[in-house]
Structure 1
Amino acid sequence: MPNTLEATIDISAPPEQVWAVVSDFKRVSEFSPHTVKMVPLGTPKAGTWTVNWNKDGKKYYPTTSRIVRYEPNQAFAFRMNENFTVWSYTLEPTATGTKLIQRRDVPNGVSLPVRKVIDAVLGGEQSFEADLVDGMQVTLGRIKAAVESRG
């Protein structure tokens, strides 16, 4: 059974500055080691669909998602249509800036066909999830660096 995955980082900047980076779809590939491109089909808001291009090592694969939460300076979440996982960023103000939380939730489990693909093509669920957590840490570190350098 897939697990809920979470990573957090403290950023020395207010939520508005963090949000400007996190919600910029054009910069996704700059931060994520797994997402090459994420293109919203319309203005980003709850209900907007996205088309995504992802990679795992040398393997590339397309996905689609739908934004399920879009609250400027607070939270952004999207549900993957292929496996029904929900990826989110939550911004919490702190005394020194912002705590940024990235999560992957699996509210209804992953379908058997998708799990078989993960086992056959992506090295199995445990390995795939470990890579995702590593990628989340890398993503948050890159976002922190960009925000704190005012980029």
Structure 2
Amino acid sequence: MEQATIWVDAPPERVWKLISDPTRYGEWSLENQGGTWKSPPGPGAQFKGRNKRGLARWATTCTVTDYQAPSRFTFEVHESAMRWGYILEPRDGGTTVTEFAEQIGRPILSSRIALGSGVAGRDRVAIRMANIDATLAAVKKAAESRA
């Protein structure tokens, strides 16, 4: 599992509104270009994600598995069999935000082929960590700018 934590000078409710809205992920991620809800937000909801890395472009189908405002937001990506999530904890007048990614199964065949080809990058662990770090820094900036 890859994960990183950052402290944000904003209340958990403000941070929750950001991280639980995949339509905004494109503002923060190095790879994700945003998402579109396919059903109303909540446990079991689905959204489509759009991603790019270099010349590679791909879409994903994601299902929300943990939706506990304002403390947890987790979703699973069907194609890659990855679980991504956020844990928010109040601390020192702000919020500690942990983002994580973990492999939960075997990716579908088309994902295995793409991953094996390196079209989306060879070191996916390093790429995920760079994405996590960039996303957390950008969420911090966005949440704190609304203070």
Q: TM-score, length-normalised on structure 1?
A: 0.88
Which of 113-122 and 64-73 deviates more?
113-122
Work out whether 1:139 is the aligned partner of 2:135: yes
Work out whether 1:92 is the aligned partner of 2:89: yes
Alignment of 1:1-150 (within 5 A): 4-110=1-107, 114-120=111-117, 121-124=119-122, 127-150=123-146
Distance 1:141 1:107, change over 3 A: same
Q: Which runs of 5+ in 2 are unaligned?
A: none
1:95 Cα deviation from its structure 2 partner: 1.8
1:9 Cα deviation from its structure 2 partner: 0.7
The number of residue pairs the alignment matches comes to: 146
Contact residue 27 and residue 34 of structure 2 kept, 8 A: no
Mapped partners of 2:54, 2:26: distance in 1: 14
Q: TM-score, length-normalised on structure 2?
A: 0.90
Mapped partners of 2:62, 2:24: distance in 1: 17
SS in 2 for 1:44: coil
Q: Deviations over 1:96-137 (max 9, x none)?
A: 31110111111335466633321202233xx12211111110
Mapped partners of 1:128, 1:106: distance in 2: 11
SS in 2 for 1:20: helix
Identity, in percent, stands at: 30
Contact residue 60 and residue 79 of structure 2 kept, 8 A: yes
1:141 Cα deviation from its structure 2 partner: 0.3
SS in 2 for 1:32: coil
Distance 1:53 1:141, change over 3 A: same
Q: Deviations over 1:29-61 (max 9, x none)?
A: 111121112111121111111111101123211
Mapped partners of 1:60, 1:108: distance in 2: 22
Q: What is the RMSD computed on CA atoms of the aligned residues?
A: 1.7
